[in-house]
Amino acid sequence: MGQCDAFISHSWSDPPGPKWAALSAWAEAFEEEHGRLPTVWLDKLCIDQRNVQEALACLPIFLAGCDRLLVLAGPTYSSRLWCVIELFTFLKMGAPLERITVLPFAEPSTRQRSRAVSDDVPAHATLADVAASFASFDAAQARCARPEDRQALLAVIEESFGSFGEFNEWARHVFDVRVDGVHESRVTTLEAGWREEERGSCGLQLV
């Protein structure tokens, strides 16, 4: 496995358009700074999510091969247990906070839904709502699709810390201090045309 620029941590339940805009804005800024396209690790393509024990054992290896953890933090991110586990694993590997970038996003006000599409994606979720979910983050409340996986994953965190309190405080601190504040103007620009762009390239290379 070659070195990747970023491991993408995200919730599949979050709205795809704003998520695409946030990722595209980050990729654009990366290319401007480094003169090349970023290479990223995407869980859907690289992790067997049907085998939690194997995926959990390999996760440190996948993260170690990436320069940073790129958190695409939408309305449901803090409630998804696999996202929590990715944060937890990065912490336990001893990675410094400087290697974490948090990109919060939500539906633009002009396209917010009149009702929730599902229980996971609330209607009218704003960036303020996303920030509030970070401030009240609680790993014990996070969910995943398979109940048996949930118990196994929560047990890993609890065994490591003794309780969820210390980890929750660390995660809230990460969300507070590692938000990339310069990407918002780029996201606003890209959101207007994301539907046309979603069929093209966002300036990424998948490994």
Higher-pLDDT residue of 200 and 177 is: 177
Cβ-count burial 124-136 (b if 16+ within 10 Å, e if not): ebebeebbebbee
Question: pLDDT class for 207, splitting at 50, 70, 90?
Answer: low
Give the model's pLDDT for residue 75.
94
Q: How many domains does the chain have?
A: 1
As a whole number, mean pLDDT of residues 171-189 equals: 71
pLDDT at 65 over 60: yes
Is 175 within 8 Å of 134 (Cβ atoms)? yes
Is residue 191 domain-resident? no
194 within domain boundaries: no
Does the residue 205 lie in any domain? no
Residue at 145 is within a domain = yes
Enter the pTM of the model: 0.79
**Residue 187: inside a domain, yes or no?**
no
Per-residue confidence (pLDDT) for residue 59, from 0 to 100: 78
What pLDDT shows up at residue 198?
A: 47
The range of the structural domain enclosing residue 93 comes to 4-108+125-180
Measured distance CA(12)–CA(135) in Å, rounded = 21
- Residue 32: give its domain's CATH number: 3.40.50
Domain presence at residue 34: yes
> Tens digits of per-residue pLDDT, 101-144?
999 999 876 554 544 444 555 557 888 999 999 999 999 899 98
- For position 87, what pLDDT does the model report? 87
Confirm if 63 and 93 have CB atoms less than 8 A apart. yes
The values of phi and psi at residue 87, to 5°, are -60, -45
Domain assignment present for 58: yes
**117 part of a folded domain:** no
Tokens of 119: 């229980």
